[in-house]
Structure 1
Amino acid sequence: MIHYKTKEEIELMRKSAMLVSATLAHVAKELKPGMSTLDVDAIAYKFIVDNGAVPSFLNYRGFPNTACISVNEAVVHGIPNNYQLKDGDIISVDVGVFMNGFHGDSAYTFAIGNVPADILKLMSATKQSLQLGIEKAVVGNRVGDISYAIQNYIEKEHGYGIVRELVGHGLGKQLHEDPQVPNYGRRGSGQILKEGLVIAIEPMVNLGSKDVAYLEDGWTVVTYDGKPSVHFEHTVAVMKGKADVLSSFEIIEEAEKNNPALCSNY
């Protein structure tokens, strides 16, 4: 069942989503080689609780941490551990918060130091595919229009692999609501988009094959061929004419540019 949100509920969701963005910006200020992904998770946890919210992912279906932190060939759902970040790594940080009765959800991939040009190009393309998907999140379109916009750009224009096994989703009082929002599909297919629908759009794009595998920890998804993967995500409210993006990359990008340990030139 799809739960449509009132204007007042969307404003509450904007506060949740913007706290997620602020958390990712705070993480961006601190990222550097030598940090463990557990260190990154601790930074995110403290920032969220200090701002009066609850981490959405912590203990969700048994997930043990605040953030899903996925490095290099890890696509999504990476469990923070003692791995120490090094020059040339890319790290996806996916965070959710629960406050005022609603969840916010967003993810951002960061480049640590000197990342190869082909991976920076992958990051740029993935972020652009998210924007193209958001442009289709308007009243009267269908979920498939979002899916096609992402897939067509990624596969036909760049030749990257778009992950099939994991998808975007509705968002609200529950972390995962209907409908599912795949990053691949046919134009004009799927659920019709109506005002008040709030969704998480989140392309997951692999440098090589679209195929993935699951690690024994039961959570971490990795590329089958071991090549890097990139993940960006926004919380988006469907509106007439133009989607309303409830999360923001602007404050994250500003922090990214001001951290000499990160590469923002992509």
Structure 2
Amino acid sequence: MTIVPQSEIFEAARKAHFAVTLHEAADFDGMRRAGRLAAEVLDLLVPLVKPGVTTEALDKVAYDYVVAHGATPACLGYRGYRHTVCTSINHVVCHGIPGDKPLRDGDIVNIDVTVILDGWHGDTSRMYPVGDVKRKAERLVEITYDAMMRGIAAVKPGNTTGDIGHAIQSFAEGQENCAVVRDFCGHGLGKVFHALPNIVHYGKPGHGIALKPGMFFTVEPMINLGGYGVKVLNDGWTAVTRDRSLSAQFEHSVGVTETGVEIFTLSPKGLHKPPYL
């Protein structure tokens, strides 16, 4: 789940950027277990995302799987949120609320899940095509995945959060009619859901916080096929593109190692991006 850069967490990071938890080697094991479980949830949903299925039905499947494996859905009850996953369809950028409206052929939907296992948070999201989708939607999904992976490739000791953002923005906005959302960002995590550092998905090389071994955070760019403007609906959660353009997002939880990066939320089945064969 993303956070708003202008939130109290962002202000804390701006004023006290040194206050970032550096985790021990043993903590990586906890994040691996939590990340794997979160990825398993998204794997489980792959054959279920199809025309006619409701997102509330997908949410129920996710909830049952999480609790059956001794974990807790982190989003359930978080700031009043009532579901296990967020389901963001077409022009919904993030934090879409599961409901009883069936998915339609041609939709694209992001499913975002966070689990708490033995106190550790695993946070991840993927895009799912619903039936036959148009080429422009496929292209947006491909660009968004590639942008995330370019951002993750910039994660290593000595680089900065600005290097991550620059890698994402320079690639994504180099594609025709694509824009990186500015209103939400990735975040630190571990024993807490949202922590420092904030990972803004645009920026300048060398700017921001220096990356150090033991930092845990999410990389989760949202890319719009149009302008980058978004607005939050009256439900207080659902963020949509202002110009009604399509939006896509992928997310991984990662840890900075001594030499680079470890992705905690890789699919155990290799279902990293569509088409999920």
TM (norm. structure 2) is: 0.90
Q: Which residue of 1 aligns with 2:103?
A: 85
Offset at residue 97 of structure 1 (A): 0.2
- CA distance, structure 1, for counterparts of residue 166 and residue 216 of structure 2: 19
The aligned amino acid for 1:23 is: V
Contact 1:22/1:252, CA 8 A, preserved across alignment: no
Question: Which ranges in structure 1 are unaligned for 5 or more consecutive residues?
Answer: 258-262
Unmatched tracts of structure 2, length 5 or more: 1-18
2:195 aligns with one of 177, 181, 184 = 177
SS class of match (1:152): helix
Check if 1:143 corresponds to 2:145: no
Shift of 1:242: 2.4
Matches within 5 A, 1:127-138: 127-138=145-156
TM-superposed deviation, 1:248: 0.6
Is residue 204 of structure 2 the alignment partner of residue 186 of structure 1?
yes
Q: Secondary structure at the match of 1:110?
A: strand
Q: Is the 8 A contact 2:36 2:267 kept in 1?
A: no
Structure-1 separation of matches of 2:195 and 2:266? 21
2:51 match: 33
Q: How does 1:24-103 map to 2 (within 5 A)?
A: 24-103=42-121
TM-fit CA distance, 1:252: 5.8
1:239, distance to aligned residue in structure 2 (A): 1.6
- 1:172: how far off? 0.7
Q: Are residues 207 and 250 of structure 1, via their aligned partners in 2, closer, same or farther at CA, if it must alter by over 3 Å?
A: farther
Give the Cα separation in 2 of the matches to 1:148 and 1:79.
Answer: 30
- Name the SS of the counterpart of 1:96 in structure 2: strand
Cα offset for 1:174? Answer: 0.7
Give, in whole Å, the separation in 2 of the partners of 1:60 and 1:252: 30
Higher mean displacement: 156-165 or 225-234: 156-165
Task: Provide the C-alpha distance between the structure 2 equivalents of 1:124 and 1:221, rounded to a whole number of angstroms.
Answer: 21
Q: 1:113 offset after TM fit, Å?
A: 1.1
TM-score between the two structures when normalised by the length of structure 1: 0.94
Query: What is the DSSP-based 3-state SS (H/G/I as helix, E as strand, rest coil) of the residue aligned with 1:5?
Result: coil
Is 2:36–2:268's contact at 8 Å kept on the other side of the alignment? no
The number of residue pairs the alignment matches comes to 259
Partner of 2:122: 104
Deviations 1:175-226 (A, max 9, x none): 1010110000111001100000011000100111101011110000001111
Residues 157 and 211, structure 2, Cα contact 8 Å, conserved in 1:
yes
Q: Give distance in 2, aligned partners of 1:252 and 1:224.
A: 34
User: Which runs of 4 or more aligned residues in structure 1 lie more than 6 Å from their structure 2 counterparts after TM superposition?
Assistant: none
2:228 corresponds to which residue? 210
**How much does 1:133 deviate?**
0.4
Q: What is the distance in 2 between the residues matched to 1:89 and 1:30?
A: 14
* Identity percentage of aligned residues: 36
Q: State the Cα distance separating 1:32 from its structure 2 match.
A: 1.6
**Retained in 2: the 8 A contact 1:137–1:239?**
no
CA displacement at 1:3 relative to structure 2: 1.1
Distance in 2 separating the partners of 1:34 and 1:129: 30
Whether contact under 8 Å (1:208, 1:227) holds in the other structure is: yes
How far apart are 1:241 and its partner, in Å? 2.9
Aligned to 2:52, the other structure's residue is in SS state: coil
What SS does structure 2 have at the residue aligned with 1:156?
Answer: coil
Which amino acid in 1 is paired with 2:194? H
Q: Contact 2:40 / 2:268 at 8 angstroms: preserved in 1?
A: no
Q: CA RMSD in A?
A: 1.5
Q: Deviations over 1:115-160 (max 9, x none)?
A: 1101101100100011100111100100000000000000124440
